Amino acid sequence: FDAVAEELERVLIIKEGESLKEGSISRAANANAGSSQSSVHSDKKGGFSKMRKGAGFFRGRNPAHILKQEEDIRNRISQASDSFKRHAQESSSLRSEYWEIYMPRIVRTLKECSDEIDLGVQYHLERYAFLLENSLLNEGVTVTPLAKEDGPGLRALVEGIDNQKDFKTFMQNYSISQPKTTGPAKHGPDYESQAKSFSPSQSYARIPTASHSQNQTPKAATASLPSFSSRKTFGVDLTEQMVRDDVEIPLIVDKCSNIIEAQGLDSQGIYRLSGTTSKVQSLKAKIDQDVGGIDLFQEEEAMDINVVASVVKQWFRELPEPLLTYQLYAQFVEAAKVENDRLRHIKLHETVNQLPDCNYSTLKYLMGHLDKVKDLHEINSMHTSNLAIVFGPTLLNPPPEEQAKGTALADMQYQCKAIETILENYAAIFVEEEQQ
């Protein structure tokens, strides 16, 4: 555009110069017809000396050519101006499209990533706080149990040590087992008066070793210690406890699901909110003592439905192997990475069918229960995605050797995505398959 404008300026200067040239010649002829050729030549030189440098290209052209050249240049200027306006309009359109469409999309994507990171950090902070609280509580309960039926704690056992009685018992048994010997009697201070100067309850600086009589049986020695039921359910292999109890669904999952469905489906944040740790530990201990005989509807701790939900989550966490197994972990994660919803559903369905029978039946029952929970999401605020965030890392964990590499944190979004897809397609994966 600048080059064309400059060319037009040169044409206009030449055009103006031609007009000046004609006027100068006419005036010179009328004033002095006999003026010398040198004077005319001097006037020409004075009139056009300023235009020779810029008008060399147009030298020797008549006015018609100059007018045509001027018209062509003006047309080119008009075209350049139209092109500039068109490109300016396109630039404005692109700028508006960027600010109205692409910028909100980018900001929304960043917000989703930020929310996902926040959820991950929140989950691990809650898990850390939960594990730390459990660890501290277990240490305190070991020293001083909350309930009498749990038996004496470590403090009571240490305070119950009687060095004087143990020594007397040992000496009596020793004297019976050894033949009598004659010898002078030894007179000295009585041991009882020396023993009274020390009481175990005054100091916990040492842990005493067992000192029992020789005729005391191990059963009698451990009679005061807490007894553990052979039907323990927490931390026991899933198949082992289901075969032991002769059930198709783990008793704890069945009983906890029943009370939640009866009293807690409309509870705000069910499974997302944790119950009071002391109540959770108390209910856990009762279930571990007699999972078959306990009636959760009669237990005080179960009045808080979040306590029951926390017990269920803790039971799944403490399984020696996650519900979806270490062996199939990689397949579940790879299936969850598939972008296409239909293809991801198919691959996860195929992987679910590879689960052992006990794991499959438990997963089916749990997904059916969670399906009832999400159906009331307008009341309890627990959508499919929220339930997946809670149960994803609980049901699906990498093998221990992979956990050391930080795989669990890196795959957390795919763990949640796998559970979310299975829950969304619960009917297609479990119900419709049975009908076929």
pLDDT in tens, 346-366: 999 999 999 999 999 999 999
Residues 281 and 385 reside in one and the same domain = yes
Residue 8 has a CB neighbour count (10 Å cut-off) of 17
Residue 133 vs residues 126, 127, 141, 325: alpha-carbon distances, Å: 10, 10, 12, 27
* Statement to judge: residues 88 and 162 lie in one domain: no
Task: Write 293-300 long-range contacts (CB < 8 A, 24+).
Answer: 294/255, 296/255, 296/256, 296/258, 296/259, 297/259, 297/262
| Residues ≥6 apart with Cβ < 8 Å to 372 | 261, 265
- Report whether 346 contacts 340 (CB < 8 A): no
Q: Which pLDDT band, with edges at 50, 70 and 90, does 390 fall under?
A: very high
Same domain, 97 and 205: no
Residue 47 lies in a domain: yes
- Domain for residue 256, yes or no? yes
The residue type found at 223 is: A
**How open is the CA angle 317-387-398, to the nearest 5 degrees?**
40
Which of the listed residues 215, 246, 269 is the one where a domain comes to its end?
A: 215
pLDDT > 70? residue 175: no
Supply the pTM of this predicted model. Answer: 0.49
Question: Do residues 387 and 347 share a domain?
Answer: yes
Q: Are residues 254 and 330 in the same domain?
A: yes
User: Quick check: is 130 in a domain?
Assistant: no
290 occurs within a structural domain: yes
Whether residue 181 is contained in a domain is answered as no
CA distances from 287 to 43, 279, 299, 301, 319 (A): 122, 12, 11, 11, 15
CA–CA gap between residue 271 and residue 308 (Å, rounded):
9
Considering the domain architecture, whether residues 23 and 162 belong to the same structural domain is answered as no
345 and 401 part of one domain: yes
Q: What is the pLDDT of residues 120-139, one digit of tens each?
A: 999 999 999 999 988 988 88
d(CA 349, CA 327): 16
Which residue range forms the structural domain that includes residue 366? Answer: 238-435
Neighbours of 74 (CB within 10 A): 13
What digits encode the pLDDT tens for the residues 65-115? 777 877 887 888 788 888 889 999 999 999 999 999 999 999 999 999 999
Same domain, 202 and 161: yes
* Tens digits of residue pLDDT in 4-58: 667 767 767 766 665 555 555 555 445 444 444 444 444 444 444 444 444 444 4
Taking the CB of residue 133, how many other CB atoms lie within 10 A of it?
A: 15
Same domain? 344 vs 430: yes
pLDDT on residue 435:
56
Residue 188 included in any domain: no
Q: Name the residue among 402, 384, 237, 406 with its Cα closest to residue 329.
A: 402
Q: How far is CA 372 from CA 257, 261, 430, 434, in A?
A: 10, 8, 14, 19
Structure confidence at residue 216 (pLDDT) = 39
Same domain, 80 and 157: no
For the chain, how many helices (H) and strands (E)? 22, 0
Please provide the average confidence, as pLDDT, over all residues in the chain: 78
- The answer to the question of residue 370 being in a domain is yes
Check whether residue 337 and residue 306 sit in a common domain.
yes
Same domain for 344 and 426, yes or no, is yes
Nearest to 20 by CA among 31, 28, 9: 28
For residue 178, being part of any structural domain is answered with: no
- From the list 312, 341, 324, the residue with the least C-alpha distance to 392 is 324
CB-based contact 363:355 (threshold 8 Å) = yes
**In this structure, what token pair is assigned to residue 140?**
């305190």
Give the total number of structural domains in the chain: 3
Residue 125 phi/psi, 5° resolution?
Answer: -65, -40
Read off the pLDDT band of 391 (50, 70, 90): very high
Cα 45 to chain center, whole Å? 88
